[in-house]
A and B are shown apart, each in its own frame.
Chain A
Amino acid sequence: MTTTDLSTQEVQAPITQMESEEAQRYYSASQFQLIWWRFRKHRLARTGALILLTMALVGLFAEFVGPYSGITRVSEAVLVAPQAPQFCNDDGCSLRPFLPGITSERNTETLRMETKIDPSVRRDIYFFVEGEEYKLLGMFKMNTHLFGVEEGSIHLLGTDSLGRDIFSRTLLATRTSLSIGIIGVIIAFVLALVIGGVAGYFGGGLDYAIQRLTEIVRVIPVIPLYMGLAAAFPKEWSSTQVYFAMTLVLALVGWPTLARRIRGKLLSLRGEDYVIAASLAGAGPSRIIGRHLLPAFMSYIIVDLVISFPFMLLSETALSFVGLGLRPPTVSWGVLLQDAQTVRAIEQAPWLFIPALFVIVAVLSFTVLGDGLRDAADPYQVSG
């Protein structure tokens, strides 16, 4: 149990004249205001939240931010290494970033296409350029991209063996992977809320049966269980069907943990003095649940949701990585990493591994965000 300076000071210190205004503010603040104040103090969690927000936005507008669609193949740029925009070359410097040109030719010995950097050519990067047509958010027809080059092509994170731009593909994958996590968590949450809520509030035989069931689901190793469910997807399913089936699978295996927590919380709250007081005062179950129990454990549930995200992301990545989850042409982090499955591939093109960094950063962000929220979740807690 950690205590921030704020709470010890404000709860335990005598209210002097100087502090009284702040103390007043503290005592009259609503629960969510208190949570927000506490959360604001958590710098790491705030950073995590910021990173995730950026990822979500970039993923949402992936077609705009990325210069190419996920399936565009640039045949003269196969397995190009990541290109860093430059401001200077031998001819001098400019404010406009540019890329050196690339030429590709076939190596006469290995018969492999090899790309060479040609520093004499300069390809300026322009912003808000017109390029391939796409539908923003699936609705608005547009052809403006955040950046691009007029001649040749631009690949900030390199290209894969088919000449597809990894930067654009990673952005699209970010959208897929995050959204699958979000939908999965929401479905799991609804299941857990209903099942765990029923078990926790009414108790008895039903509670016992549900408890045993969750225990049994939890005994089976998780990823093999996921795999078993994912293996059952018919081969002829479209990528959309597989996508929604994946969210369902993630939710189906994810709910027992959440349900258990909700149940535990409800059980412990049911015996609290203020709940007994409310029922003595004549409040019905709906008022007790809505007015007294939900606000008391909602914050914990949000924390649990955030904490269960990394698990969903990692599971999806793992499943798609081995070919049992999402399938091309859908791009997710796991699907992208399929290209980096063998050592040969990584040796030849280490940048195929870049999507892994996104996975790690997203998972880390969710973890620190969850930690920060957990500290903030109970603003009344003053234990040392």
Chain B
Amino acid sequence: MVKFLVQRIIGMAVTMFFVSIMVFIIMELPPGDYAERWAFRKFSGTGAQITEADLDNIRANFGLDRPAPERYFKWISGIVLHGDFGEAFAFQTSVNNVIGQKIWLTLAILFSTLIVTYLVAIPVGIYAAIRRGSAEDYALTVFSYLGFALPNFLLALVLLYISITVFDSSVGGLFSPEYADAPWSTAKALDLLSHLIIPSIILAWSATAFQLQTVRATMLDELNNLSVTAARARGVPEWKLLLKYPARLAINPVVSTMSFDANRIFSELPIVALVLGLPELGELLLKSYLDLDMFVAGAILLILTFMIVFMNFLSDIFLAILDPRVKLIEG
């Protein structure tokens, strides 16, 4: 088990190293350079005359005159050694300050979405497989198709529209106004939970459609297994036998694709967050892309990807615990 863990952690580090290079390339992509944008932000409208020499000064200040590999090294070592993500010029403060507690809100959204997804997809998928070919199964297939076809942000808009016209209340935001700036308390946490429900349902929408079909397909494969027939022949009650053999195995592909779900959720998060006005990393990522505030964007992209890689690590461990066959192969 220790060897297994060490292997996975090394793999994770290698992946993150390559991801960080890719993120750095994306940060470098926008035309014009950081110094010009920074100067524009800082001095536009102040009447100050910026000369080429000033720009060179700024460049030297930020180390922009150094070659790219050196800048990459400085950036990544700042993150790894000091947890320092650099400076967010649009906000005139450090990236860490800007991102701060949004990481926790983002994690809260991720986990509540995953919980909603699995709470719906696993039992419903098993049910659909058992009742294969029934009207319910057919309806669920249609639902899955819609889950693929209806973009989450449209769903968000529709729900927002309904909530405002029918219920006369907004589903947007993560906190009620009275808690937005209040210090953390039980009441504030409960308020956050109640606001998490709608975004979670919206974000879980397509992941659920996808996992539901996975569970159903695996379940169908397993239902034909000899172990099921043998158990049935032994007279094991039907519900017990279903839970003991096929249902247990049907969960495996779901567990092993947890990181894909996280990827899907983060992929959709920025746009849904924009529509619903959620103050978390996805929305900030979108804003910083639009402002070309690439240090913030790069940091968020790196953090989101790290969460996904970490989820992958977790799902490997869960899988090894759930399915003894995996452990045997990995040693």
A interface, CB within 8 angstroms of B: 212, 215-225, 227-232, 234, 310, 314, 317-318, 321-324, 337, 340-341, 343, 346-347, 350, 353, 356, 359-360, 363-364, 367-368
Contacts and interface: CB of A to CB of B under 8 A. Distances in A.
Given A220-B22, A223-B270, A347 B164 contact: yes
Contact of B290 (A231, A310, A356): A231
Contacts of A234: 31
A111 to B, nearest CB: 23
A361 B290 CA distance: 30
Contact of A318 (B151, B165, B305, B308): B151
Contacts of B292: 231
Nearest to A217: B22
A212 B19 CA distance: 11
Interface in B276-331: 282, 285-286, 289-290, 292, 297, 300-301, 304-305, 308-309, 312
A222 B268 CA distance: 9
Contacts of B270: 223-224, 227, 322
B151 A314 contact: yes
A296 B304 CA distance: 40
Contacts of A324: 286, 289-290
A52 B99 CA distance: 44
A318 B286 CA distance: 12
A321 B149 contact: no
Interface in B200-241: none
Interface of B: 15, 18-19, 22-23, 26, 29-31, 145-146, 148-151, 153-154, 157, 160-161, 164-165, 259, 263, 266-271, 274-275, 282, 285-286, 289-290, 292, 297, 300-301, 304-305, 308-309, 312
Contact of A219 (B286, B289, B309): B309
A123 to B, nearest CB: 31
5 contacts: A227-B270, A228-B26, A231-B290, A356-B151, A360-B154
A348 B193 CA distance: 31
* 10 A-B pairs with least C-beta separation: A232-B29, A221-B266, A231-B289, A363-B149, A228-B26, A223-B267, A221-B267, A364-B149, A232-B30, A216-B18
B271 A228 contact: no
Contacts of A310: 148-149
B164 A221 contact: no
A317 B31 contact: no
Interface of B is mostly: helix
Contact of B151 (A227, A359, A368): A359
Contact of B305 (A221, A343, A367): A221
A356 B146 CA distance: 13
Given A234-B31, A346-B161, A367-B145, A219 B290 contact: no
Contacts of B268: 223, 318
B204 to A, nearest CB: 16
Contacts of A321: 153, 271
Contacts of B309: 219
Given A231-B30, A321-B271, A360-B149, A224 B301 contact: yes
A224 B145 contact: no
Nearest to B291: A231
A259 to B, nearest CB: 17
Contacts of B266: 221, 224
A231 B305 contact: no
Contact of A215 (B15, B157, B289): B15
Contact of B145 (A220, A314, A368): A368
A363 B144 CA distance: 13
A234 B165 CA distance: 40
Given A343-B157, A353-B157, 16 more contacts: A219-B259, A220-B23, A220-B301, A220-B308, A221-B266, A224-B285, A228-B289, A229-B26, A232-B30, A310-B149, A318-B151, A340-B157, A356-B151, A359-B151, A367-B145, A367-B149
Contacts of B151: 314, 317-318, 356, 359
Contacts of A340: 157
Contacts of A224: 266-267, 270, 282, 285, 300-301, 304
Contacts of B154: 337, 356, 359-360
